[in-house]
């Protein structure tokens, strides 16, 4: 039994597809390279604890990568900045 090439592509697409919240977070990072999780949360009007896990998932899927650290002026803490791969 052979598998059609289009079936393999469809399977791979579904396997790697992103959820709606992941796509939304990814879009913010794409539009604002170097943003941090707090910026994303503010832009989307979401709690930071809704954004942080989505960024982690995007990192694990290889969609975003660290773009350095910056001290957040609001919190005084070092935060990771993100960019799309």
Could you give the C-alpha distances from 57 to 3, 36, 41, in angstroms and in order? 30, 15, 16
Could you give the C-alpha distances from 4 to 26, 55, 63, in angstroms and in order? 31, 34, 27
pTM above 0.75, yes or no: yes
Contact partners, residue 72, CB within 8 Å, separation at least 6: 36, 38, 78, 79
44-85 pLDDT, tens per residue? 999 999 999 999 999 999 999 999 998 988 788 999 999 999
Is residue 11 domain-resident?
no
Here the CATH number for the domain that contains residue 33 is 1.10.10.10
Signed CA dihedral, 65, 67, 73, 78: sign only: positive
Number of domains composing the chain: 1
| Domain range enclosing 53 | 18-84
Confidence (pLDDT) at 14: 47
Is residue 23 domain-resident?
yes
Is residue 8 domain-resident?
no
């Amino acid at each position: 039994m052979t598998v059609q090439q289009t079936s393999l592509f469809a399977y791979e697409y579904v396997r790697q597809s992103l959820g709606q919240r992941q796509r939304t977070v990814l879009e913010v990072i794409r539009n604002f390279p170097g943003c941090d999780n707090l910026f994303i949360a503010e832009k989307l009007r979401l709690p930071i604890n809704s954004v942080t896990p989505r960024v982690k998932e995007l990192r694990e899927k290889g969609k975003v990568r660290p773009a350095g650290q910056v001290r957040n002026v609001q919190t005084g803490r070092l935060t990771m900045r993100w960019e799309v791969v």
